[in-house]
Amino acid sequence: MAFITTPDGTDIFYKDWGTGQPIVFSHGWPLSSDDWDNQMLYFLSEGFRVIAHDRRGHGRSTQTSGGHDIDQYADDLAALTEHLDLRDAVHVGHSTGGGEVVRYLARHGEGRAAKAALISAIPPLMVQTAENPEGLPKSVFDDLQAQLAANRSVFYRNLAAGPFYNFDRPGAEPSEAIIANWWRQGMMGDALSQYDGIVAFSQTDFTDDLRTITIPTLVMHSVNDQIVPFVASGPKSAQLLVNGTLKTYADGFPHGMPTTHADVINADLLNFIKDSGVPGM
């Protein structure tokens, strides 16, 4: 297995397959790089070099007692891109990974990046404030932490079997394999990292970060997202970006649409990367 060691001594696990233009995938909370299996195999077959890492405290990376904030996540991503000397990279982030990508580009610059894609991503800000009335009340995130602390295994099972993939919607056909794989990934990480991660993904304001990003950025979000509400995220991020494009998904696409609707998401990402446009925008 491949690891890099960050300046604070944290070992970050990563996968690096193929050659060609690099695509770097940043995963969502509380998962791991395994959540990108479909995308990595697909884009590898399309001639790209594909890279994904496990965030600190998640997957196979070091279970640290600190550093569970967006700045540190971005610094770890920067350490990986520098270690691999990536150039002309496309950065793709899902959910919390989208925030990681945005903060990385704003904090470390766009010199190594060509494009970015934010899928069901947390920016600009998830929590409700006077300036962000469309956000979710802080009590929602406090409850997530309480459930995690009470019984992480049950909490993760219920989240995967319910709102993450919209398996709780009328007429839905839950996939036991998808639910079990989500639970497996979540339980690989440690409780403290994931507990603190809830604060990181819910309370970090990316408004100013988004305004600084100039590379072409595709914002992909579903109106049926039950985890990161569409009204508080996708349209706002696209508007704040200098060169942002919003792709809206309906028809039951969930927060975890890279898994449940991989064929559509992969095709739209490929069209964006190849400059051939994305249908329906």
User: Which one is catalytic: 26, 95, 202, 237?
Assistant: 95
Contact partners, residue 116, CB within 8 Å, separation at least 6: 90, 91, 92, 93, 101, 102, 105, 213, 215, 216, 217, 218
CATH class of 2-273: alpha beta
- Is 221 among the catalytic positions? no
Per the listing, tokens 């979540």 go with 186
User: Which one is catalytic: 94, 225, 233, 268?
Assistant: 225
Residue 268 has pLDDT above 90, yes or no: yes
Q: Which residues pair with 100 in a beta bridge?
A: none
Task: Give per-residue pLDDT as tens, 78-128.
Answer: 999 999 999 999 999 999 999 999 999 999 999 999 999 999 999 999 999
- Is 27 among the catalytic positions? no
Alpha carbon distances (Å) from 143 to 50, 92, 146, 224, 255: 36, 29, 5, 22, 19
Token pair recorded at residue 232: 């508080």
- Is 45 among the catalytic positions? no
The average confidence (pLDDT) of the chain is 97
Using 50, 70 and 90 to split pLDDT, how confident is the model at 277?
low
Domain range list for the chain = 2-273
Token pair recorded at residue 118: 């934010």
Q: Which residues pair with 52 in a beta bridge?
A: 15, 25
Task: Give per-residue pLDDT as tens, 212-262.
Answer: 999 999 999 999 999 999 999 999 999 999 999 999 999 889 999 999 999
